[in-house]
Amino acid sequence: MRITSQAVYAVFAAMLLLASLSSCSKPQEQHVNSSFRYASFRDVPGITDDEIAAVEALQRKYDSFVYGMIVTTEAFYDDGEVRGYSALICEWMSEFFGIPFRHAIFA
């Protein structure tokens, strides 16, 4: 059996048609709180007792951690404060792990 170019084009056109039709689904309902956040690392599904114990050991051993970045759009100074993604991720990790994450910009 020989496959002609017309058959290949027909199959390709059918695939495009099916793909475009499958994307026309009913939009899903928006959840009231679409920015759900875990309150702490203990709430993550599947976390083991050993992993919780390891984080708790780090909490006892260290006062803080340093999150270092070079100057980019993700870490920059604004009125003497570090801003950008690095500041936001440090804030989130501090809350999530219960250990202060300090940001630092390295040259």
**Tell me, what's the pLDDT at 23?**
52
98, part of any domain? yes
Number of domains in the chain: 1
**Tell me, what's the pLDDT at 5?**
55
Tokens for 46, please give them. Answer: 């599947």
76, part of any domain? yes
Domain range for residue 84?
Answer: 54-107
**Tell me, what's the pLDDT at 18?**
47
User: Is 99 within 8 Å of 40 (Cβ atoms)?
Assistant: no
90, part of any domain? yes
DSSP 16-41: HHHHHHHT-PPPPPPPTT-S---SSG
CA distance 72 to 4: 54
60, part of any domain? yes
CA distance 106 to 92: 21
71 three-state secondary structure: coil
Tokens for 10, please give them. Answer: 């027909």
42, part of any domain? no
86 three-state secondary structure: helix
101, part of any domain? yes
**Tell me, what's the pLDDT at 38?**
81
CATH code of 97's domain: 3.40.190.10
Q: Quote the Cα angle for 42-46-49, to 5°.
A: 55
44, part of any domain? no
What pLDDT tens digit does each residue of the chain (107 aa) get?
A: 566 656 545 555 545 444 555 555 555 555 445 556 788 899 999 999 999 999 999 999 999 999 988 888 888 888 888 888 888 999 999 999 999 999 888 87
